[in-house]
Copies of this chain bind each other. A is one copy, B any other.
Amino acid sequence: MTQASICTIGDEILIGQIVDTNSSMISRALEAIGIKVTRMLSFGDDHDEIISNLTNELEHNQIVITTGGLGPTKDDITKAALAELSCSAYNVVNEVQLRIIHEILGARGLDVLDINEAQAQVPDTCDVIPNRLGTAPIMVFRFPEERFGHPATLYSLPGVPFEAQGAVPDIIEDIRSHTPLTDIFHKCVMVAGMAESALSKLIAPWEDNLPSDMHLAYLPNQLTGVRLRLSIYGGNKEDEEKRIDDQFALLAPILGDKIYSFQDDTLQNAIGSIFRGSGMTLSAAESCTGGMISSLLTSVPGASEYYLGSVTSYAIAVKQHVLDVSPETIGFYGVVSQEVAAAMAEGVRKLTGSTYSVATTGLAGPGGDGRNEVGTVWIGISGPNGTKTVRKVYKNDRTRNIERFTSAALDELRLFVIEDLRKSK
C-alpha cells in the first residue's frame, strides 16, 4: 500500500499560533484514493531542519506532501532547501504563475513588487502546478528510485488553507496518474440531531451485521452532525457502490429523518435542496446566534432564489420595533423564552413575507440572565401551518454554544418543513 507523510513547515504552527487544519484535509483526500498516511509532522522555517526532516520522510514514504513555508516574505528558505534537496542548479521563472501573480495583485489594485514576482521562480528540477488561488506555485519534485530506495514524490503546497485545499484535486490527479493505487470506495450518510455515542448504540445491530470487508467510520462535526462513512478497499466501482447502497438502505428505516443526505453534505445545503425550485421562501430572526444562521444559509451558491434575509435582533428594541415582539411578552416571559422565540419567528416571517422562518433566542455565555441555564436556546420555526418551538441546552463555551444553537436551528427548520410537505401530499 502506498504510504504518505504530510508535513507542515513554519514556526507559526510550532509555536501554536495557528492550528493546522491542512494536514487533516489532505489526509482525508489521500485516504479517499487508498493511500495510507503514516505520519504527520510540523517543523520550523529553518534550512537544515527542512532538509533533514524531508529526507527522513522521503526515505520512509513514497509520497510526501508539505504545506507552508512559502509566501512573499519567507519562501527563500523553503525554496533554497528544496533546491538543495533536489540538487537543483538554479531557479527558473514559471510564466503561468507569473501571469497569475499579476492578475491577483492587479485585481486587488496592488503593485507587483519584486518579492511578488520572485514567487514565480522555482528550482529547475521541479514540475509546477499553477496555483490559481494565490501567488505561490505548487512544486512537484520527483525523485528516482536510487535516491531513497524507492520512487518518491514531494509536493510542496502553500500554507494558506484555502489555497492548499484548492491544490488538492490537482495533487490527487497527479498522484493517480503516476502511482498504481488500490481503489477504495466510500459513500456517506449525514445524520443530524444525535450525539455520536447515542447514534452508535442505536445502529449497533446494523453495524454488527456489516460485511467484513466494509469499514464504518463516524466523522462528527459541530455544525453538520455525524457523517457515517462506509469504505471498501479494492473491487469494481459499480458493484461495490451498489453493495454500500444496499447497506445504507437497511440503515435508512432505523434512522428515518435523522438522515438528511446520502452524500457528504451540510444542513444548509440540505435546506437549499428542499427550497430550491419549490417556490417557497425563507427568512431568519437571530438573537444569540448573532448572524451565523444567515451566514450559513447564504454560503450556499444560489441561496438568493429562496432566502429573503434576516434580522439579528441583539437589542430588545430591535426585537420590539423591527420584529414586532410585544413588550409584554418580553417582560412577562423574558427574552430567552418559548414565547419570544415564537414571536420572533412570526415577526420576521411577516416582515419579509417568507413562507417559512427560523428564530433563535438563548444564552451563549459567558454571562447568564439569572433565569435560564447558560447554554439554553429556544428555537422558533414558523410556516403556513403554524409555529413550533424547541428548547435545547448545551454545555460548551460561547463559540461552541453558538455553533450548536445554529446547527440545531437549521435541523429543526429542516424537520418542520419536510413534515409539512409530507402532510400536504
Q: How far is the CA of A217 from the CA of B307 in the complex (A)?
A: 42
Among the stretches A83-91, A111-119, A123-131, A140-148, the one at the interface with B is A111-119
Known: A40-B41, A74-B218, A314-B309. A395 touches B104 (CB 8 A): yes
Find residues 289-340 in chain A having any chain B CB closer than 8 Å to their own CB: 289-299, 301-304, 307-315, 317-318, 321-322
Known: A162-B222, A218-B74. A397 touches B133 (CB 8 A): yes
A151 within 8 A of B: no
B298–A12 touching, CB < 8 Å: no
B219–A12 touching, CB < 8 Å: yes
Among the stretches A15-23, A244-252, A381-389, the one at the interface with B is A15-23
A121 within 8 A of B: no
**Least Cβ distance of A214 to chain B in Å?**
14
Known: A14-B38, A294-B290, A295-B295. A107 touches B394 (CB 8 A): yes
A197 within 8 A of B: yes
A28–B41 touching, CB < 8 Å: no
**Least Cβ distance of A314 to chain B in Å?**
4
Find residues 1-43 in chain A having any chain B CB closer than 8 Å to their own CB: 11-21, 23-28, 31, 37-43
- Find A201's partner among B107, B115, B217 (CB 8 Å cutoff): B115
Known: A299-B290, A317-B353. A197 touches B38 (CB 8 A): no
A189 within 8 A of B: no
Which residues from chain B contact A317 at a C-beta distance below 8 Å? Answer: 308, 352-353
Q: Is the interface of A mostly helix, strand, loop or mixed?
A: mixed
Q: How far is the CA of A26 from the CA of B351 in the complex (A)?
A: 47
Which residues from chain B contact A351 at a C-beta distance below 8 Å? Answer: 321-322
B298–A312 touching, CB < 8 Å: yes
Which residues from chain B contact A254 at a C-beta distance below 8 Å? Answer: none
A31–B16 touching, CB < 8 Å: yes
**Least Cβ distance of A378 to chain B in Å?**
15
Which residues from chain B contact A286 at a C-beta distance below 8 Å? Answer: 291, 294
A312–B291 touching, CB < 8 Å: yes
B41–A41 touching, CB < 8 Å: yes
- Find A322's partner among B28, B299, B352, B399 (CB 8 Å cutoff): B352
Known: A298-B291, A299-B399, A399-B299. A108 touches B304 (CB 8 A): no
A197–B290 touching, CB < 8 Å: no
Which residues from chain B contact A71 at a C-beta distance below 8 Å? Answer: 196, 218, 220
Q: How far is the CA of A110 from the CA of B200 in the complex (A)?
A: 13
Q: How far is the CA of A400 from the CA of B311 in the complex (A)?
A: 23
Which residues from chain B contact A15 at a C-beta distance below 8 Å? Answer: 27-28, 31, 37, 217
**Least Cβ distance of A212 to chain B in Å?**
17
- Find A42's partner among B40, B222, B290, B307 (CB 8 Å cutoff): B40
- Find A311's partner among B116, B290, B311 (CB 8 Å cutoff): B311
A366 within 8 A of B: yes
Q: How far is the CA of A304 from the CA of B286 in the complex (A)?
A: 13
Binding site for B on A (CB under 8 A): 11-21, 23-28, 31, 37-44, 49, 53, 71-74, 103-105, 107-111, 113, 115-116, 133, 160, 162, 166, 195-198, 200-201, 217-220, 222, 227, 229, 281, 284, 286, 289-299, 301-304, 307-315, 317-318, 321-322, 351-353, 365-367, 375, 393-400, 402
Q: 20 pairs across A/B with beta carbons < 8 Å?
A: A13-B40, A15-B31, A16-B26, A17-B217, A17-B219, A19-B19, A40-B42, A40-B43, A41-B41, A71-B218, A115-B200, A116-B197, A290-B295, A302-B367, A308-B314, A309-B322, A310-B310, A310-B311, A315-B352, A322-B352
